Amino acid sequence: MAAAVPPGVAPVRARFLTSKEEFHAFLRAGSEPGSQVGDEGEEEKKEEDEEKEEEQEEQVSSCQSEPPAKRVRAEDLGQDEENQEGAGAEEKELPERKRARGQNKSRPCMKPNHYEQSRLCPSVTQGRPGKCFYGPRCRFLHDVGEYLAGKPSDLGQRCVLFDTFGRCPYGVTCRFARAHLGDGHQNIVNAALAQQWEGKLLVRNNLSKDLQHQLRKRKFVFQKAEEYLRGLKPRGGDGKGGKATGEQEVSNCAAPQEGLGDGDGHECPVLQEQGEDPKAEALQSPSSRGDGVAPSVPTVGPLTDEDVTKLRPCEKKKLEIQGKLYLAPLTTCGNLPFRRICKRFGADVTCGEMAVCTNLLQGQSSEWALLKRHHTEDIFGVQLEGAFPDTMTKCAELLNRTIEVDFVDINVGCPIDLVYKKGGGCALMTRSNKFEQIVRGMNSVLDVPLTVKIRTGVQEKINVAHKIIPKIREWGASMVTLHGRSREQRYTRSADWEYIAECAKIASPMPLFGNGDILSYEDANRAMETGVSGIMIARGALIKPWLFTEIKEQRHWDISSGERFDILKDFTNYGLEHWGSDTQGVEKTRKFLLEWLSFLCRYIPVGLLEHLPQRINERPPYYLGRDYLETLMASQNVDDWIRISELLLGPVPPSFTFLPKHKANSYR
């Protein structure tokens, strides 16, 4: 224990350090006086259940099986990767000991019917049993007694929706229904409390049925976008910058894509497209037929000045966020409940998760859910991903007319292969013609500022951001955010803040925000000294969302395990408000809680560190916390995260299984 700390491992004080075996033995015991988890008998029973589940995992369907790389780690690695010993053994097992990276693409696909075999018809839940929308084709139950006979037991005595708003819209299906059910299973309403919230819009940017119908039937009129796209004349491409808008390069924004449904798209918006041929999207758009004639479209309503007069750049709304703390758009984990947590701790600017423009143009409910804005988010933007001028420009016009945002961001930093190979994300940095057309087109149809998020470049040692940033300013963007890593680096090695400082000078007078490796107020101070206009915080907020408070108060917060557990309680309450308090909502909240715990476990309490601050790329060693809960929260084992979720949301369903989004985040 007195040995020097290995490189890449966080410096925890010697008296807290332990071995992997002792760490897990301590958690298995779970019998400390005053422990905040269940008693020893429950723990032993749960362990037996977990062993049975692990035996069954080999036999379940492919959508619920662990990927091979994860199974290799579970079976063959006797020790954690930081504590490998024996050079000879290491050479022999090198392919298996290689640290797992990338995404778990074969993750469990837990659908609602995995949790509930029989669901109650929404018409019964809403108190209108005689007005079933589905009519005789309805496959849901209409008998409340029959539903209750198979309904899982309630999870608690109090319902957060009833306590907050005076009424729970989920009625008898709520997993906390005993708090608001009266005689005859009637839903009780606290009229005085409900009246206080009447007429208040808590969450904006919802997709209306009328708008969804227009998008699906291709009846939405993109007047400004069509005008801009008609002005794009095909030019010969030079190969490097990408072709101009030609017949084979323009995607059909309204063409339905194979395999895309209305399923759960919160996990990663682009994963739904996996397995498709990238060339299948390169279809001809009605706006690029080459005849120069726009398709005739009917217009509705009187002609206004807005229809014929373009806003000059000086008339657009300004994005005044210099010096503010910007929470990055985070796929999967950057959901609305998480953003509410960060707002409470001092985040000034928030942005929705990356949304794929083609899915928005098709009216997919799951994609539109990523645009929702809570009323506490005073400065809020949305981030779009796309590879073609027609889809991105049309999507910008669509959002400009239908939702309330303060800015729109273009994702030119996404490194994942599925996006990159289709020409989106980082690939736009190498397709300058398409990039220019996208920025100019979106800027021409938006009334709010347009921002761009980029990386240093595609290849590790070839930085190109300094060449692109002046062009982005010329094209009309209001701000650039630069992540100090290339696509090849992903999230390995340290962010290059010296290069970010050079780019900040080049970008002036356009604001440039820096992003990368900020996990303490010292990191934030050093970042601001580089001359950037502000900082964007991504993984740092996932590891410790109270980072915003630390930066504003210029201190290290030795937050207790009880306080951290209260944050998780708030997240689950926000999740039940957002996703619902029925079984489906509870399990969706659990899923996103578990995804967040895969980052939270990396936090090392201030009081345990040998010296401050903790670095974002330092991996925590095995240590015993100051109490049982603190130790449990330090575990990187999926099963321990599930135990934490059960403390908040009750037992998991019988067939429950979970794998984190990223392979490096946990082991079983």
In angstroms, the CA 521 to CA 603 distance is: 15
Mean of the per-residue pLDDT values for the chain? 80
Look at 99 and 477; give whichever has higher pLDDT. 477
Question: What is the bridge-based pairing of β-strands 355-356 and 380-385?
Answer: parallel
Within 10 angstroms of residue 610's Cβ, the number of other Cβ atoms is: 11
In angstroms, the CA 203 to CA 217 distance is: 26
Which whole number is the average pLDDT over 117-121?
81
* Coil, strand or helix at 350: strand
H-helix segments, 58-118: 68-76, 87-92, 94-97, 112-115
In angstroms, the CA 1 to CA 239 distance is: 57
Burial tier of 364 (Cβ tally within 10 Å: 0-12, 13-18, 19+): buried
Q: Compute CA 374 distance to the chain's CA centroid, rounded to the nearest angstrom.
A: 15
Q: What is the reported pLDDT for 110?
A: 60
In angstroms, the CA 419 to CA 646 distance is: 35
For residues 229 and 366, the answer to whether their CB atoms sit within 8 Å is no
Within 10 angstroms of residue 135's Cβ, the number of other Cβ atoms is: 7
Q: Compute CA 40 distance to the chain's CA centroid, rounded to the nearest angstrom.
A: 36
In angstroms, the CA 417 to CA 489 distance is: 13
Burial tier of 482 (Cβ tally within 10 Å: 0-12, 13-18, 19+): buried
pLDDT 10s digits, 608-631? 999 999 999 899 999 999 999 999
For residues 593 and 578, the answer to whether their CB atoms sit within 8 Å is no
Q: What is the reported pLDDT for 351?
A: 97
Q: Residue 378 has what DSSP assignment?
A: S
Range in 58-72, 228-242, 563-577 the model is least confident about: 58-72
In angstroms, the CA 656 to CA 643 distance is: 12
Q: How many residues does the chain have?
A: 668
In sequence order, the β-bridge partners of residue 59 are none
pLDDT of residue 369 exceeding 80: yes
Q: What is the reported pLDDT for 195?
A: 93
Residue 168: active-site member: no
pLDDT 10s digits, 135-156? 888 888 888 888 888 888 999 9
Q: What is the reported pLDDT for 95?
A: 44
Instruction: State phi, psi for 616 to the nearest 5 degrees.
Output: -65, -30
Give yes or no for a cis peptide into 509 (omega within 30° of 0): yes
Q: Residue 615 has what DSSP assignment?
A: P
pLDDT of residue 8 exceeding 50: yes
* Coil, strand or helix at 178: helix
Q: What is the reported pLDDT for 70?
A: 35
Within 10 angstroms of residue 532's Cβ, the number of other Cβ atoms is: 24
Which pTM was predicted? 0.79
Q: Which residue's entry shows tokens 């999507």?
A: 395
Q: What is the reported pLDDT for 473?
A: 96
CA end-to-end distance (rounded Å), the chain: 25
Instruction: State phi, psi for 107 to the nearest 5 degrees.
Output: -75, 160
For residues 376 and 235, the answer to whether their CB atoms sit within 8 Å is no
Domains in the chain: ranges and CATH: 14-111+560-665 (no CATH), 119-199 (no CATH), 209-245+320-553 (3.20.20.70)
pLDDT 10s digits, 260-295? 333 343 333 333 333 333 333 332 333 333 333 334
Segment holding 481, helix H or strand E? strand 479-483
Residues in contact with 52: Cβ distance below 8 Å, sequence separation at least 6, in sequence order:
none
Give yes or no for a cis peptide into 613 (omega within 30° of 0): yes
In angstroms, the CA 285 to CA 249 distance is: 9
pLDDT of residue 645 exceeding 70: yes
Within 10 angstroms of residue 460's Cβ, the number of other Cβ atoms is: 14
In angstroms, the CA 544 to CA 556 distance is: 11
- Rg of the chain's alpha carbons, rounded to an integer? 26
* From 357, 414, 426, 503, active-site residue: 414
In angstroms, the CA 82 to CA 664 distance is: 13
HSE-CB at 424 with a 13 A cutoff on CA atoms is 28
DSSP per-residue letters across 392-427: HHHHHHHHHHHS--SEEEEEE----HHHHTTT-GGG
pLDDT of residue 575 exceeding 50: yes
For the record, the structure tokens of 193 come out as 């409390």
In angstroms, the CA 407 to CA 399 distance is: 11
Q: What is the reported pLDDT for 304?
A: 54
Q: What is the reported pLDDT for 105?
A: 60
Q: Which residue's entry shows tokens 């220019």?
A: 436
pLDDT of residue 445 exceeding 50: yes
* Coil, strand or helix at 112: helix
pLDDT 10s digits, 488-501? 888 778 899 999 99
pLDDT 10s digits, 535-561? 999 999 999 999 999 999 999 999 999
In the chain, how long is the greatest CA-to-CA distance?
79
In angstroms, the CA 94 to CA 76 distance is: 11
In angstroms, the CA 628 to CA 26 distance is: 9
CA triple 638-642-648, angle to 5 deg: 150
